Amino acid sequence: MSRYTVEEITKFFHSHEVKCQSSDVQKWINKTGGPSNDEELTDWDMFDFSEWWSYQGTAYEDGIDDKTKIARLLEEIEDLKREKYKLMDEINTLEQRLDILPF
């Protein structure tokens, strides 16, 4: 199994268009009790960081209070409603172009 530094992990995620910083990887190590020597990070650590990072800023982020969680969920609901209306408009536009009557 390969070993990585914090910088190497950060570069790997940047190459996959994940916007994280070395400080984010270090924060993950500190919060999860990861390897104290940053040159001992493994492929599994990269997977764990990826999963942890995907929850940051969402209602599912570990350690946030209920008020923040609810606010983030309400924001997510509003985003989904906007996406729904956008898709409905797109359907209507395509139906008109194809001269299809709505059911």
Instruction: Please say whether the beta carbons of 7 and 25 come within 8 A.
Output: no
Q: What is the pLDDT of residue 53?
A: 94
Domain boundaries, the chain: 1-56, 64-103
pLDDT of 17 > 80? The answer is yes
- Residues whose CB falls within 8 Å of the CB of residue 2, separated by 6 or more in sequence, listed in order: 42, 43
Q: What is the pLDDT of residue 37?
A: 64
Separation of alpha carbons 18 and 87, rounded Å: 26
For 24-83, the pLDDT digits (tens) are 999 998 888 777 666 688 999 999 999 999 999 999 998 899 999 999 999 999 999 999
Q: What is the pLDDT of residue 65?
A: 96
Q: What is the pLDDT of residue 103?
A: 63
Q: Structure pTM? A: 0.68
The H or E element that residue 30 is part of is helix 22-32
Question: Which residues in 23-32 are b (16+ Cβ under 10 Å) and which e?
Answer: ebbebbbeee
Q: What is the pLDDT of residue 101?
A: 72
Q: What is the pLDDT of residue 32?
A: 80
